[in-house]
């Protein structure tokens, strides 16, 4: 059995990690880290775990944790892991980081968008961007994985085949994305109060959202060119889910058959990416509670643009599920272990 430690186990992503790992045949959770709830029973924080998890929440001492487990998940705010990580820790344990600390390869870009100094840039180059469908072989050899963001996972996987095959103008991309409120975390914020969110939809982080450079960087790797795009997220009154709708100009001569062939080329053998039937648009309800990504497209011949659509559960494929998928690859487990979660409906 692989021993697991979770730092940030009482946030939404951390709680989802616990839920998923409780059904994983190859692991045992040894450390439920939570700075806010030290010495409190885990089920007292999440009552759904009553008589399922009897462990007590512990502190976030990563050096002590590295001595006790084989892999650490850090479901923590930006800057936490970067401020503590050193070679002594990485020599003892593998890490899957759910923050943005090691996702962006250019430290100046990271510091510009996140407004904090990166404390351990020496590990950025080594860190593998954990988008399994794209970087699977690199993840298998990694000791530090940067788990992608939720908006980025949905946006990149929705656009990736057309970027990789050179079918779209990469500087014509506009992404309109919508997320449930769990994406903002469990901390108390006025903007997330019921009366603020219910019966409301709003854009935020317009022209400034932190996931923008992550999407641009990864699509740049796919297309082999510098990418600049518009990304606008919206908050919608639901618990879970992300729907990304991306628009791009098709290159001359690109047909619907070529676009469909690109999606099939990259995703026909991918367990967790479902390319929907023609004219079926993804819905968040169809992936809720699962590690699936549903994608599809429509070509607007009038404007010569393609509308690419993707839907995920932001807490599963957008966070904890993808983190477990990365762990499975890192330890040579079946990639789907613990993740064959049937979407909940309704």
With contact defined as beta carbons under 8 Å apart, do 145 and 97 qualify? yes
Tokens coding 118: 């990166």
pLDDT at 232 over 90: yes
Q: How far apart are CA 66 and CA 89, in angstroms?
A: 6
Cα 25 vs. chain centroid, distance in angstroms? 23
Find, among 204, 206, 230, the residue nearest to 216 by Cα.
230
Please provide the average confidence, as pLDDT, over all residues in the chain: 97
pLDDT, average across residues 200-218: 97
Q: How far apart are CA 68 and CA 265, in angstroms?
A: 42
Cα 184 vs. chain centroid, distance in angstroms? 13
Per-residue pLDDT band for 37 (boundaries 50, 70, 90) equals: very high
pLDDT at 136 over 90: yes
Q: How far apart are CA 57 and CA 32, in angstroms?
A: 5
With contact defined as beta carbons under 8 Å apart, do 224 and 163 qualify? no
H/E run at residue 246: strand 242-249
pLDDT of residue 186: 84
Q: Nearest 5°: phi and psi at 56? A: -100, 140
pLDDT of residue 325: 98
pLDDT of residue 162: 98
Burial 167-194 (b: 16+ CB within 10 A, else e): bbebebbebbbbbbbbbbeeeeeeeeee
pLDDT of residue 117: 97
Alpha-helix residue ranges (DSSP H) falling in the chain = 12-21, 42-45, 62-66, 80-84, 87-90, 107-114, 132-140, 150-164, 194-197, 211-223, 256-267, 321-330
Q: How far apart are CA 10 and CA 35, in angstroms?
A: 9
Find, among 18, 3, 90, the residue nearest to 57 by Cα.
18
Q: Which domains, ranges and CATH numbers included, belong to the chain?
A: 2-126 (3.40.50.720), 151-314 (3.30.360.10)
Question: pTM for the whole thing?
Answer: 0.97
pLDDT, average across residues 261-279: 98
pLDDT of residue 191: 87
pLDDT at 120 over 90: yes
Q: How far apart are CA 168 and CA 259, in angstroms?
A: 10
Q: Annotated catalytic, 150?
A: yes
Instruction: Quote the percentage of the chain above a pLDDT of 70.
Output: 100
The edge-to-edge listing of strands for the beta sheet with 202-203 is 202-203, 230-235, 174-179, 242-249, 305-312, 293-300, 273-275
Burial 314-323 (b: 16+ CB within 10 A, else e): bbbbbbbbbb
pLDDT, average across residues 58-83: 96
pLDDT at 211 over 90: yes
With contact defined as beta carbons under 8 Å apart, do 54 and 43 qualify? yes
Ranges 118-132, 176-190, 191-205, most confident: 118-132
Per-residue pLDDT band for 192 (boundaries 50, 70, 90) equals: confident
pLDDT at 187 over 90: no
pLDDT of residue 256: 98
Listing DSSP states for 20-70 in one string gives: HHTT-TTEEEEEEE-GGGTTSBHHHHSGGGTTT--PBPB---HHHHHTT-S
Instruction: Quote the percentage of the chain above a pLDDT of 90.
Output: 97
Q: Find the catalytic residue in 57, 150, 154, 281.
A: 150
pLDDT at 189 over 90: no
pLDDT of residue 188: 78
pLDDT at 39 over 90: yes
Tokens coding 281: 């648009």
Per-residue pLDDT band for 184 (boundaries 50, 70, 90) equals: confident
Residue with tokens 């990469």: 170
Q: How far apart are CA 133 and CA 156, in angstroms?
A: 11
Q: Give, in degrees to the nearest 5, the angle at Cα 142 between 107 and 310.
A: 75
């Amino acid at each position: 059995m692989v021993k697991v430690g979770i730092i940030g186990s009482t946030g939404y992503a951390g709680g989802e990690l616990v839920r998923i790992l409780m059904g994983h045949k190859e692991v045992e959770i040894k450390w439920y880290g939570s700075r806010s709830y030290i010495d409190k029973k885990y089920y007292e924080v999440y009552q759904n775990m009553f008589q399922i998890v009897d462990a007590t929440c512990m502190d976030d001492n990563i050096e002590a944790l590295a001595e006790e487990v084989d892999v650490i998940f850090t479901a923590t705010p930006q800057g936490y892991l970067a401020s503590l990580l050193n070679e002594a820790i990485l020599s003892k344990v593998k890490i899957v980081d759910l923050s943005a600390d090691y996702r962006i390869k250019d430290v100046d870009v990271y510091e510009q968008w996140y407004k904090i100094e990166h404390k351990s840039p020496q590990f950025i180059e080594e860190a593998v961007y954990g988008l399994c469908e794209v970087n699977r072989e690199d993840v298998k050899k990694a000791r530090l994985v940067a788990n992608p963001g939720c908006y980025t996972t949905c946006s990149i996987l929705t656009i990736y085949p057309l970027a990789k095959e050179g079918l779209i103008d990469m500087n014509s991309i506009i992404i309109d994305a919508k997320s449930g409120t769990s994406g903002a975390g469990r901390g108390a914020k006025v903007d997330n109060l019921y009366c603020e969110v219910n019966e409301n939809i709003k854009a935020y982080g317009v022209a400034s959202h932190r996931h923008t450079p992550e999407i641009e960087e990864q699509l740049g790797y796919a297309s082999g060119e510098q990418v600049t795009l518009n990304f606008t997220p919206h908050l919608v009154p639901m618990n879970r889910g992300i729907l990304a709708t991306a628009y791009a100009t098709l290159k001359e001569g690109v047909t619907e058959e070529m676009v469909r062939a690109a999606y099939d080329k990259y995703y026909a053998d991918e367990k967790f990416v479902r390319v929907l039937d023609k004219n079926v648009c993804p819905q968040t309800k169809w992936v809720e509670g699962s590690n699936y990504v549903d994608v599809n497209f429509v070509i607007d011949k009038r404007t010569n643009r393609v509308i690419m659509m993707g839907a995920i559960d932001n807490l599963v494929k957008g966070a904890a599920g993808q983190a477990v998928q990365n762990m499975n690859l890192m330890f040579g487990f079946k990639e789907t272990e613990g993740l064959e979660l049937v979407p909940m409906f309704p």
